[in-house]
Amino acid sequence: MKIISHITDMQRWSEARRLAGKTIAFVPTMGFLHEGHLSLVREGKKRGDVVIVSIFVNPMQFNQQADFATYPRSLEQDQLMLEEVGTDVLFYPNAPEIYPEGFQTAIEVDKVSQPLCGAFRPGHFRGVATVVAKLFNITKPHFALFGEKDFQQCVVIKRMVKDLNFDLEVLPMPTVREPDGLAMSSRNARLSPTERQTSLCLARALHRAQDLVAHGERQASSVLQAVQEIITGEGGVRIEYISLCHPETLEEVAEVSGPTLLALAVWVGDVRLIDNCVIR
């Protein structure tokens, strides 16, 4: 696996691959990799000739300095895991390489950045859209893979790609879960054993909602109430939001008719966790 840390080197490498007729898959990450990331790399390897993975903990998308500072990092372990799944290039720039002095440009994806996580993390999706656009221009992929655990992120990136005419395909991939149902996340590492147990209420709540709809419930309010009861049934969990909304526009729905996104964000202790499912 090649490690590249400079933008121009990365562009030169990708351009050469493209000129050689190779198809480039790209998986952007913030490191501290888990099976969720690796599943994206494996899928990229399957669909493309070469796979680039980036690791960059993007300061622009953290609205809280503390979250950025404590975001878990483990480069050596990440490298081993990436080698093992056949990554061709790890793009690993430092912050001044990505945000040099004088940097002053931002990309805003308006409506789909507003609700859900966007309402609680001001500037977050602006930071995400901007860095992902940069990474697309740096790695020049034919397609890019994102985990559906960050569902709103997938929606924002898809919208940006369409609106700015990036000539590449965004492939959202199913959330990978621990055997007990917890969605994999780098932030899970910060949960205490008790919190780890508590956090299972998220997956349980998603199942309950799917069950209710499968059995004929259509009122969003009833589904949301059931979800809320499951989550508040656990001590030490604070709900940030629970929403039933359209999976493309992210506009809230009053009735579950057609595919509907159920999205949750909660705090377990001082760890913020999100999860979601599309109810069909």
Of 2, 6, 73, 111, the residue at the interface with a copy of itself (CB under 8 A) is 111
Question: In the block, which residue shows the tokens 């205490």?
Answer: 192
Q: Are 134 and 170 in contact (CB under 8 A)?
A: no
Region for 255 from its dihedrals, namely left if φ exceeds 0, alpha if ψ lies in -120 to 50, beta otherwise: beta
CB 131 within 8 A of CB 92: no
Of the pair 133, 263, the CB lying nearest a copy of itself is at 133
C-beta of 29 vs 139, nearer to a copy of itself:
139
Pick 102 or 179: Cβ nearer a copy of itself: 102
Candidate residues 68, 71, 143, 166; the one interacting with a copy of itself per rule CB under 8 A: 166
Nearest approach, Cβ of residue 137 and a copy of itself (Å): 4
- Site for a copy of itself contains 65 (CB under 8 A): no
Please identify which of the residues 6, 34, 37, 215 carries the catalytic annotation.
Answer: 37
- Residue 123's Cβ-count burial label (10 Å; 0-12, 13-18, 19+) is middle
Q: Which is nearer to a copy of itself, 145 or 250 (CB)?
A: 250
Please list the residues that pair with 52 across neighbouring strands: 26, 89
CB of 116 vs a copy of itself, minimal distance in Å: 16
| Residue 65 or 105 having the CB closest to a copy of itself | 105
Residue 277 has phi, psi (to 5 degrees) of: -155, 155
| Rounded Cα distance, 127 and 106, in Å | 7
Smallest distance, a copy of itself to C-beta of residue 16, A: 12
Query: Does the protein bind a copy of itself through residue 159 (CB under 8 A)?
Result: yes
Q: CA-CA distance, 38 to 176, in Å (whole number)? A: 10
Residue choice 134, 149, 158, 190 for contact with a copy of itself (CB under 8 A): 134
CB–CB of 56/189 below 8 Å?
no
Query: Binding-site residue total for a copy of itself (CB under 8 A)?
Result: 31
Token digits of residue 172 = 């959202």
- CB 163 → a copy of itself: shortest distance, Å? 4
Contact 263, 129 (CB under 8 A): no
If the CB atoms of residues 30 and 133 are measured against a copy of itself, the closer one turns out to be 133
Tokens of 143: 């397609």
- 251 contributes a contact to a copy of itself by CB under 8 A: no
Cα 197 to its chain centre, rounded Å, is 23
26 in Cβ contact with 143 (< 8 Å) = yes
Based on C-alpha coordinates, what's the Rg of the chain?
Answer: 19
Note whether 15 binds a copy of itself by CB under 8 A: yes
| 257 scored as a contact of a copy of itself (CB under 8 A) | no
- Near a copy of itself by CB under 8 A: residue from 1, 9, 18, 68: 18
Known active-site residue 124: no
Please report, as ranges, the residues that interact with a copy of itself according to CB under 8 A.
7, 11, 15, 18-19, 21, 102-112, 129-130, 133-134, 137-138, 140, 159-160, 163-167
Which residues belong to the active site? 37
